[in-house]
Amino acid sequence: MNGTINIEKELLSFIPKDDKLITTVLESMKYSLTAGGKRVRPMLALEFAELCKGSPEAAVPFACAVEMIHTYSLIHDDLPCMDDDDLRRGKPTNHKVFGEAAAVLGGDALLTLAFETILSERAVKLNGFEKCVKAGRLLAQCAGAEGMIGGQIIDIESENKSVSADHLKIMDSKKTGELIRAACLLGCISAGADEDQMKAAEKYASCIGLAFQIVDDMLDVLSDEATLGKPIGSDKDNNKSTYVSLLGIDECRRIANELTDQAIESLSAFDGDTSALKEFAEKLRDRKN
């Protein structure tokens, strides 16, 4: 599991050196970048790089770029005009600490830094120009209006509406799925993977991405039931459609199992050690929070 790479340290290494005139924006960036993320996306990028016989070290700038995109999206998502959240992973959200203006700018700066990182001299030295272009282009597509940002607008416009399970799937495949896909594929690109490997990585990504969301919904309902004594299927927010409210908890469990099996099955396209990715898929399915 790429034990020699310290992704926390690597992420910070791409932040510009301190300059007192711009301290606020640098601190805003660092605060959220080091706020206890689970580093799922960098892990996926490094694992797929290794699995496709590339070097995890070469994939580090790509892995860091995906995490920067993920982090900026959380900062902007938490803003008062978006989800208006005061806490994120148990800590005050970026705008609560630095104010809204510095949160907007810190997010913008992390988004910009993701592309500076993926196109950096270090990234080129390790991967060459062509792979850096392909990685940057893919990341932009996955993070942009047709990808993650598109998912966010669908989410906003679906609030307080009852929508279908297919609508939820499209929303989630964009809002979270596209960046998971980017993470897996960026590892493949760094390693010079072939078409079949890229397709298998995409399959793995889409399966674990959707399984994650479904399990999330199940955990919400089960925790409500445990703490509030509510019957399964009655959502805490009745206006919000979830996989559980639309499909029922048993069907959700069945689909989550099936997706996890498919994710693991897709790994058979690789002849390297897939145990870490297999365990990860199972852990997502079996988690309790």
Q: Which residues pair with 91 in a beta bridge?
A: 88
Q: Which residue has the tokens 């445990």?
A: 226
Q: Which CB atom, from 35 or from 256, has the smaller least distance to a copy of itself? A: 35
Contact call for residue 18 and a copy of itself (CB under 8 A): no
Nearer to a copy of itself, 93 or 152 (CB): 152
- Distance of closest approach, residue 112 Cβ to a copy of itself, in angstroms: 4
CA gap 139, 68 in Å, rounded: 11
Torsion, Cα 46 49 51 57, to 10 degrees, reads -70
Closest contact distance (angstroms) between CB of 206 and a copy of itself is: 18
What string marks each residue from 56 to 95 as x (binds a copy of itself by CB under 8 A) or -? ----------------x---x--xxxx-------------
* Amino acid code (one letter) for 122: R
Distance CA 113, CA 171 (A): 26
Q: Site for a copy of itself (CB under 8 A): which residue of 87, 153, 228, 232? A: 153
User: Among 134, 243, 233, 146, which residue's Cα sits nearest to residue 185?
Assistant: 134
Q: Which stretch binds a copy of itself (CB under 8 A): 3-11, 24-32, 194-202, 231-239?
A: 24-32
Among 157, 194, 250, 265, binds a copy of itself (CB under 8 A): 157
Q: What is the CA radius of gyration of the chain?
A: 19
Q: Which window, 14-22, 227-235, 242-250, 259-267, contacts a copy of itself (CB under 8 A)? A: 14-22
Residue 154 near a copy of itself by CB under 8 A:
yes
Question: 10 Å Cβ neighbour count for 254?
Answer: 13
**Binds a copy of itself (CB under 8 A): choice among 1, 8, 10, 141:** 141
Kindly state whether residue 120 participates in binding a copy of itself, applying the rule CB under 8 A.
yes
- Of 13, 87, 89, 101, the one binding a copy of itself (CB under 8 A) is 101
Closest to a copy of itself by CB, 125 or 287: 125
* Three-state SS letters, 250-273: HHHHHHHHHHHHHHHHHHHHCCCC
DSSP SS3 for 92? strand
Question: Of 109 and 211, which CB lies nearer to a copy of itself in the complex structure?
Answer: 109
At 172, list the tokens. Answer: 């989630």
Amino acid occupying residue 58: A
Is 232 a binder of a copy of itself (CB under 8 A)? no
- In the complex with a copy of itself, which residue's Cβ is closer, 127 or 197? 127
Give CA separation, 195 vs 126, 148, 167, 172, 274, in Å. Answer: 21, 24, 29, 25, 18
Please name the amino acid found at residue 250: D
Residue 214, phi-psi category: left (phi > 0), alpha (psi -120 to 50), beta (remainder): alpha
State which H helix or E strand residue 89 sits in. Answer: none
Pick 174 or 285: Cβ nearer a copy of itself: 174
CB of 72 to a copy of itself, least distance (A): 8
**By the rule CB under 8 A, 112 interacts with a copy of itself:** yes
Amino acid at 154: I
Q: Which residues form the interface with a copy of itself (CB under 8 A)?
A: 15-16, 19, 21-22, 24-26, 29, 72, 76, 79-82, 99-102, 104-105, 107-109, 111-113, 115-116, 119-121, 124, 129-130, 132-133, 136-137, 139-141, 143-146, 149-150, 152-154, 156-157, 170
